[in-house]
Structures are given as C-alpha cells and as structure tokens.
Structure 1
Amino acid sequence: MASSVPICDICMTDNITKSASVWCSECEEAICNKCERQHGRMGLSKNHKPIPIKDYQKLPSSVAAIIQKCMRHNLKFDFYCVIHNEPCCVSCVSEEHGICQKLKPLSEVVEGAKSSAAFADLEDRAKDISALIGNLITEKQNNRASFGVQKNKIISEVQNIRAAINDHLIKLEKDLLDKLDNMEKKQIGNIDSFIKKLSEMRTKVENISGDLEKTKRHASNFQAFLGIHEWNKRIEIEEKDWMSLQTDQKMNHCDIYIKCSPTLMKFEKDVTELGKIEVNSSSSKKTLLKKEKQGQIYVPISNTVDNIKLTNIRSFYMADGTSNKTLITEICYC
C-alpha cells in the first residue's frame, strides 16, 4: 500500500520533495499536480488514466503491490501465457514461452477484467457466504435466547412438584437447578464460541468483499485481473470452512429439557434425584453455497445395476441332441 505521505516520484529524481496528488498505475509512479500536467502532454503517457492518490491508498495491499514490469528483465509486460497463467515480457516469451501455443496480448486479456464473469463470480460468492453466515448467526442467537424461556419453564415445573413434596425435594431441587445452570452455561458457552467463530469467518469474507469493491472502483484492469487468482484462493478457503461447518455438531439446534422421575410420588424411598437436565440436539438443515447448488444441476446420473433395464432383442434355441461341446462365449447388451 502507498505510504501515508506519498511523494512525487518524478520530482524525487531532481531531489525535490513534493506531495503527490495522483497515481499512474501504468507508469507505477506517484505524481504531483505540476508533473501531472506534463505527464498528460507526453506522447507515451498522454493516454494514461491516473487516479487520485487517496483512491490509490484505498486499494488492498495485495493489489497495490502488483506491478506491470517484469522483475527479471525490467521490461513491461506485453503478453499473457494462458498455459502458465502468468504475464510475460518480450524476453520472457523468447526465453521461456517460445513453444507455448496460447500467448495473448496482455491488453486484450485484461480488458474488462473488473466487469468480467470471473470477477462477478467472486463478488457473488463472497456475498453468498456472508449472507449464509449472517443467517446462521441470527439462528444461533435466537437459539441462545430460547434457553431463558426453556429454563423458566423447567423451574416452574420443579417448583410445582416441590409444593407437594417439599421436604424431600429441597435438596433434590438444588442439585437439579445447579445442573440446569451448568448445562445452560455450557450450551451458551458452546454457542458463544461458535458465534465468535462465525463472526471471524464473516469478517474475513467481508474483507474480501471490501477488497473486491475497492479494486472494482479504483484498481486498473491489470491489477484486478491478477488479483482474481489470489481472491479465488482466499474465497475457496472460506467456502471450505463453511462446508466443513455442515458436519460440525455445533450447527445443531439445541434445546434444554427435563425428564422428570416417574417415581416422584414414592420419592422418600425411591427418588435420589429430581430429574435429569439434558440437551436435545436436532440436526440443522444443510445450507448449500450457490456454487454447490449449481454443481448439482449439472451432475449426470450414472447407470448402475439397479437402474439398468434389459430388453429382449432376440431369442434362440438349442436343438435337442446338440453337442455338449457347444459353448456360448460372449453376451453383450446395448
């Protein structure tokens, strides 16, 4: 990312320190107001499109770090090798990509990168997983809130029983409520830690979304194009984390309930505890990512022994007395 006080790179060649006002991604230089006018008149740079330096500073560091020169040969990238998935200068082409059949002009490849299907797909996937995480957080928060109602219901049941058999129930009531409190704290702790994990995931996804939005607004097509590969890896990590959550038991909806002892009326000799505090965990419906749903649409149905139906095309009969040396060597079906 650019420094907090960017200096004009052109003025620096004359040992003059002057604040830059724009950034030219093609020249890869910060430029002040005075130099910008000259930059716009020069033949090699008059068609360049500098952006305000404050917009450049908003770019994600990974995007701002992308340069348009070959570090090995110090030449401008002019080509893109589809086979090796990398930009090339003329020297790279002659040294390493001479036999590559899919070299394309870089300007043609990066044209419209920010409006490309790949960029839009990244945006959609980031929004998709962010929305799913948000929905799940809301669901878990509602689940957490329901514990209070469930707890109050259980307490009421316990107190009604105690009114009838108070003497013996005082100790058992205390034991049960302690277990209830511990179970509630445990479940709340589980959900709180899960919500924290989900919030961290959402923060990562929202950071990706923010980077994509800033890149779309302020980055060059070249920067956006090369950034797509890196974002693909980042969003795939979040998608894999989301898919792994689908098998996590913490995804399940939990309810606290009480199983009262059936022998309460004979508690003086039979009852050693008032009840058991348990958690009823019901499986949560798996929520698919959009790309998973789209993938299912195109999965072909494979033939198996169970769904293959044979049709009789032709029959033949062996005449009586046929030699037992006659062999059937092959059967085929279509």
Structure 2
Amino acid sequence: MSNSIPKTMTAWRQNAYGGPESLTRAEVPVPQPGEGEVLIKIGATSLNGADIRIMRGDPKLVRLGSGMRGPKEKIRGKDVAGTIVAVGPRVFGRSVGDRVVGELPGGGLAEFVVAYSSKLSTIPSGVDDKIAATLPLAGGTAWQALESVNTDRGASVLIIGAGGGVGTFTVNLATWAGAHVHALCSPRAIETVAALGAERVDDRTATSTESLASDDYDVIVDLGGVVPLRELRRLVRDGGDVVEVAMGGNSVVGPLGRAIGSQAMSTWSKKHLRPLLATKRPGLTKTLLDLVASGEITPHIDREVPLDSADQAIKALDDGEVVGKILVVPGS
C-alpha cells in the first residue's frame, strides 16, 4: 500500500451480540485489499435496520449467517461511500482516486474498508459521498418493493411505516412514478414524509388501519410487520398487492412465520401478499445514483454523526429516533 495510507485506523468493533454498548472504539490495522478488492477511504457510512439486527443477533435466525456466538464481521456499517486509495491484484476498471459506493457485509464504522470491486458502483460527479451512501440498501429495498407491483401513474399506494430509511425512499420512488401515496408514520416523520410527496400523511400511533376503507388501495407496502395479514388483505383491491418488507415475527425465526402466512393467504386469492427478500444489486444502485444526479429523487438525511461518536448514531437508530437516514462521517 502507499506510504500515505496509515498502518492503523479508528474503528468501532463488536465481539458479542448486544445493544449499542457492545460496540467499542479501537485502533486496528488498516485492511489490505486482496484479489479483486479495493481499499476505500470512507467518506460516509449510512446505517440501516440491518445493522441493528446483526448487532443484536435478533432474530436468532440471522445468526446462521452472521455468526452463532458473535458477529463474524466485527465492524458494523453496510452502506459505504468513499474514494479508492489502493487496488489489489486482478482489479479491472477501477483506479486509485475513483469514488465508489456499495452495500458491504460490514466494516463501515471505520476510516478504511476493503470491498470487492465488482460489488461497487461509481459515484457520478455532482453526487457527494453522503448522498450516495444512503442509496444501496434502503433505496434498493424500496425499489425492489415497488418494481413488481402497480405503481403506475394514478395508482393508490398505502405505505405503513413510511418514516424510516426504506420508508422515505418508498414514498419518494412511488410519488416519482406517479402514484397517489397515503403514508402512515410516526409523528416526528409527518412533515418530512409530506415533503417527499405523500398526498395524505397520518400519525400511525393515532390512526388505526381498521378505520380505513376496504378495497381502497392498489398496493400496500408494509414496513412495520405488525398489522394483521387479514387486515392488510381487506384494505387492498382485487388484483392488488401487499408487499411485506419488514415482517415482524418472534425472536427466534423472525419473519419466517409471517412470510409463510402471506404465501398461504395468497393461494387462490385475487389479492396478492408478497414477502420481499431484497438482494444486493449494484446495477440498481447505479440507477438510483442517476435519479439523484438528475434531481428526480432526494434522499432525506436526518443527521450526520462523526466517527468518534458512531456508537451514538447506532443508539439513535436503535431507539427509533431517526427519520430517513443517519450517517457516520469522518472526524470527531
């Protein structure tokens, strides 16, 4: 690696599952890029609900992939944007100085991170690292929730839990597509969600879905996972779709039972309940970057927190205090 790259860096590590208190600040070696990898100097890391689930190992089902006794990836932070400062062997089409963004297994709560070059998207000029970092997981999940259902101009869409990272992107993308959006969100998110284009915004703590008319929506995107499936099916029209994104569930298997229930209730029904398992798609991140660059969508950033206080950013997200996205940026 270049002499300008330090040998050690600040990172927030986690050795055992737990709450924000399980993260500790440490000085660790700067990783070296292997075959097909690049080393990124991080410009911004966007935190997501997935970081919280892995941090807590909850539901326990996630531990099959993340580690049974503790997280295999010790550093939280999946969505990272920054500048390539070194390249490993057999990296093609990437150079030192390129600005890139991607959804990684982790490693974002640090000054540097390694990533496979093929999993990254180039950040266009005019889009800064902070905006780019919001896109891969939250923006990508919102896109995948909407891409297989009818959000064409004039469609009626209900978004439940619209104030979080995925929720604000879902509002933004559905209104961009021309849908009429009714959003349910926390009181703190109402103003933001309305500004993103929702035509009707209600406080989900004061508005029961039981008060909503039957057969009134073409699409329902459920980001809360607490409204009974039969109630969601009542609200959607024949031929319509309910997309289950955050599907609740118990502390062991999480959303698995609800997903099975969704599939069962869709059998022989004119109303479709679709559990969503979003996947990493660098090509989709590029599409979202282009929409941001052209001004067609605008991610909402609640706040930026310096790396030295990254545990406070995780705590704010864990406590449900964030509207849209929260970023960790270099500095103290």
Length-normalised TM-score, structure 1: 0.19
Please tell me whether Structure 1 or Structure 2 has the larger radius of gyration of its CA atoms: 1
Structure with the larger strand share:
2
Structure with the larger helix share:
1
Length-normalised TM-score, structure 2: 0.19
